[in-house]
A and B are shown apart, each in its own frame.
Chain A
Amino acid sequence: MKFGIIIFPGTWSDRDCYYAIKDILRQKVDYIWHKETDLSDYDCIILPGGFSYGDYLRPGAIARFSPIMPSLEHFASQGKLVIGICNGFQILCESGLLPGALLRNEHLEYRCQWTHLKTENTSTAFTSQCQNGQVLKIPISHYEGRYYANDATLAELEADKRVVFRYSTSTGDIIDSANPNGSLHNIAGIINKSGNVLGMMPHPERACEPLLGSSDGNLIWESIIANI
């Protein structure tokens, strides 16, 4: 089992993901520069957060043209696991690996805060270690995190149970006041049709130790490890 973390120019949660996986979960992990093209060594690829190419133009819009992206698409098409966090989620949407888009937060401000996520589907490779409906405490940090998709896409996502995480209260109520950015249906994370690509705005790598306020993010990494 080996993780790979892709670094684009401007990525910054590469180091946090590396720390969570290597130092907390004691798994093998490599950094992968975005100009490389061989992903054959890896079982799970992480697209970390940050501001790839400064988020100029639109978050993820330039990174999707990086040399590594065709290899990533091939990797995903083989059913191998891909997780995009924050900017990684934005890149996955821009590249079409996930549907929908991430718009500017409704209040037009950057938000860094703890959020609670209700686990809506525990039969995915990313959530199998969570309890049904379990509420995870994981922080967000973004300016463009408002999930948007057209009605047909939303209906399909809901019907297929592909909404994996929703912003909720600490007791699991899915209400507007628990939604930090105006995401449709309080969506915080979704998976693709085949269930092997997850995109989420919150940062599970930051919720890796009680000292930092939560270790709930580890459930996601542990699920991945259990499913390889």
Chain B
Amino acid sequence: MSVSEATSPILETRGLRKAFGGHVVLEDVNLRFEPARLSAIIGPNGAGKTTCFNLLNGFLAPDRGRILFRGRDITPLAPEERARLGMCRSFQILNLFNDYTVLENVRVAVPAMRQRGSNLWTPAGAISEAEDKAARIIRLIGLAGREHVEAKYLSYGQRRLLEIGVTLAGEPEVLLLDEPTSGLGMRPMETLRDLVKRLSEDLTIVVIEHDMDFVLALSHHIAVLHRGMVIAEGPPEAIQNNAEVREAYLGRLKYARATQ
């Protein structure tokens, strides 16, 4: 993997601005996400991470600025159109089809199923392409054996894994993860970290995350948002040593570590 500074980004934002009423949440945000890397967007509470994430996936529209995917301006595209291009998002607050089984959740997310959405006749289970793909994903996220359990009966950790599985089923080129470890304890956290690490070997991943260990261990690139602006960007080591970032954010963590 020869990813140099000159590589053209797969996803890019230019001069993004977003305000809610008079409150400016993001101002002039320029981000570049290189292919086959895991990039994290971090920042203290209220820094505008979630807003930034929602601009990327299309659930919000920017007031100003553009978003480019593979060099194409996708700013006016709706979330579903972006998903069809290969930008798939997960949700911080679990958003699963609760009455569906694990298999049904993943299967309905597979593009082979989506492309047959106007088919009113063939039983959904007979689309072997979608079925096979779903089975592969369920193995990958470690839920094999639980295919026929309804999502609402899974444990929280398993639901977190399924959340990623459903997102992965969309065959993303860019995987957008919204706080994938939110609410997890140690053990499930490790499972999830391993999964994301494996995925980051050949997928472009953009992640919003609060857990600093997770971010520092897995990211190739980190962008730090503070009060709606990007205050620092770079590899994890550089970010850790950046004075401004420590001042805004990491300093408190170091302090917390030191007193532990």
Q: Do A and B form a real pair?
A: no
On B, residues with C-beta under 8 Å from A are none
On A, residues with C-beta under 8 Å from B are none
